[in-house]
Amino acid sequence: MSRIQRVFHNSDHKTFVPYIMAGDGGLSSLKEKLIFLQQSGVDAVEIGIPFSDPVADGPTIQQAGIRALKEGTTLKGVLETIQSFREEISIPLIVMTYANPILAFGVDRFAEQAAQAGIDGCIIPDLPVEEEDLFVPKLEKAGIELIRLVTITSPEERIKKITAKGNGYVYAVTVAGITGTRSGFNSDLGSFLQKVKTASRLPVLTGFGISTPDHVKEMSQYCDGVIVGSKIIELFNEGDLEGIKKLVDAAKAV
């Protein structure tokens, strides 16, 4: 059983997965952030790789990526940094990156070095299921799970096709748009998440726009847990570590 699978095996609470941008504040801050999140009780962490054309990202994550790029952050540097302290982190680590950085790096090289760094999963938001054979065989051979996304606009047959694959979890996107904090959600979101949950043989986590403890509790009613990105980045930048703990605790309370 992989580290990702163990997160959901006999879990007695809803899963909470934060997203952070590697290199935001310098790569030297990555270990400190991951250890804090682990100690706060998160179940896994998604680690963003900065990219110049982040089509799925809203302003907060875009700015975090720009700051990271200005720090000289590279995919190679991120993997080497994680490898240097991976033994101190027991929770799953999932890299979130676009297809181009992996292709430029080399898919074989990426799979090999990500495995050496102890990466458990990979999210590639601009990779359609029809094109994933470019990546999946090499990732799976290296023991890295591709985490697939479904969106609120995905037809039911496509949801079934996507959720039939893999052994990690399904990332259900809450909005028809980019990442970022929001005050509320579409009234059809609950039915969408229930539809994904019914179709999927894998655990379903939902993300994009979740930014308050109430959001965490509300969304967790419909699926196996939540993913919070923009708000986590904001709170780290503000030094509000208690705010991060409140979000994590909200998932544990459902």
Distance CA 111, CA 59 (A): 29
Distance CA 200, CA 248 (A): 25
Is 57 among the catalytic positions?
Answer: yes
Cα 240 to chain centroid distance, Å, stands at: 21
Main-chain dihedrals φ then ψ at residue 148, nearest 5 degrees: -100, 150
Q: Does residue 171 sit in helix, strand or coil?
A: strand
Nearest to 37 by CA among 18, 50, 60: 18
Tokens standing for 10? 């006999």
Question: What is the distance between the terminal CA atoms of the chain, rounded to a whole angstrom?
Answer: 26
- CA angle at 207 for the pair 10 and 12, rounded to the nearest 5°: 15
Distance CA 254, CA 250 (A): 7
Catalytic residue from among 24, 43, 57, 71: 57
Please give the C-alpha separations between residue 87 and each of 26, 102, 114, 149, 176, in angstroms, as whole numbers.
21, 24, 14, 29, 38
Catalytic residue from among 43, 46, 132, 224: 46
Radius of gyration for the alpha carbons in the chain, expressed in angstroms and rounded: 17
Is 24 among the catalytic positions?
Answer: no
Catalytic residues: 46, 57
